[in-house]
Amino acid sequence: MSISIQYTITIVLAHRSAKKFKIATSLAENLSQIRILSENKAFEYSINKKPFKSEIKHMLQTNEVQADISISSDPLRKKKLLICDMDSTLIEQECIDELADFAGVKMLVSKITESAMNGEINFEEALIKRVRLLKNLNISVLKKCFQERITINKGAKVLCQTMKANGAKTAVVSGGFTFFTSKVALACGFDMHSANELISVNGILTGEVKKPILGRTAKLNTLNTLTTDLGGSLSALAIGDGANDLSMIKAAGLGIAYKAKQIVASEAQCEIKYTDLTSALYFQGYSEREFISC
């Protein structure tokens, strides 16, 4: 006797719209199955046959409805660990690119960053090369960079605070730098953070980064360590945008590519492309009324 698997489909519209919400909900075979998560914005429904995301996407696109989609057969959808990348995920920028602008080498550094995030070159080697270009930069520039350039992405604080309120651990793991992760973690309310450490002497960057470098493997190891007492990696929600996030995204029970490079978007369980980080809550079954506003 075969066991019936139930699939939950979550759809989050890019913009709140009664008209487009009605079109999107028509995808459900039975309207009574629909659970509205946010009025005219997000909903979910369950079916017993495996759906094809490509078909759902095609139908939405045909009707000019932009939306992010999650399909889950996980009975334990609300995760016990939130683990997030920082650069281009929790924040809009790549910190090292912005620092490079102060050093007058942003174009060169940005090209290396892009290649590393696309998985075209080794992340650790790329980081060493980019940090070398920051040599002789005064460390006071880090504070100036954070204050003038760094913006936290929409939904980051609500995502963190809502999951914490529901008992989840929260962690930032970044291939960037501890100076920035400490401030972003504090601003959003994350329990812990880890990243790479820039080396300085007498207030001047030496162009070196402390070893070992936190990259793709370290992010995965952090996820595994933090979920040891939570039931394993499937209890985690991992979010990132670059190739160095892919291992933790694929290992997590819910792995989300956030406005990500193609290599990540194509392999992640689901993608946030049109909406913001609160969609990670909808994908777990949270309704908007459960959100903790900040």
Taken in order of first residue, the domains within the chain and their CATH numbers are: 7-72 (3.30.70.100), 81-290 (3.40.50.1000)
Quick one: CA dihedral 73, 78, 79, 82, positive or negative? positive
Instruction: Kindly report which listed range (24-33, 62-71, 117-126, 206-215) carries the lowest average pLDDT score.
Output: 24-33
Give every strand in the sheet of 7-13, ordered side by side: 35-38, 42-47, 7-13, 67-72
For 233-274, the pLDDT digits (tens) are: 999 999 999 999 999 999 999 999 999 999 999 999 999 999
1 pLDDT band, cuts 50/70/90, is very low
**Contact, 194 vs 176, CB < 8 A?**
no
Tell me the pTM: 0.96
Overall average pLDDT of the 23-30 stretch: 85
Q: How much is the pLDDT for 50?
A: 84
For the segment 210-231, the average pLDDT, to the nearest whole number, is 97
Task: Please give the share of the chain, as a percent, with pLDDT higher than 90.
Answer: 91
Q: Which residues are catalytic?
A: 85, 87
In percent, the amount of the chain with pLDDT more than 70 equals 98
Q: Name which of 109, 86, 88 is nearest 219 in CA terms.
A: 86
Distance CA 40, CA 117 (A): 35
pLDDT in tens, 154-175: 999 999 999 999 999 999 999 9
For helices 178-188 and 156-165, the axis angle rounded to 10 degrees is: 60
Question: What's residue 3's pLDDT?
Answer: 62
Does the pLDDT at position 123 exceed 50? yes
Helix (H) or strand (E) holding 205: strand 204-209
Q: Is pLDDT larger for residue 33 or for residue 64?
A: 64
Q: What is the pLDDT of residues 70-121, one digit of tens each?
A: 999 998 999 999 999 999 999 999 999 999 999 999 999 999 999 999 999 9
**Does residue 179 carry a pLDDT above 60?**
yes
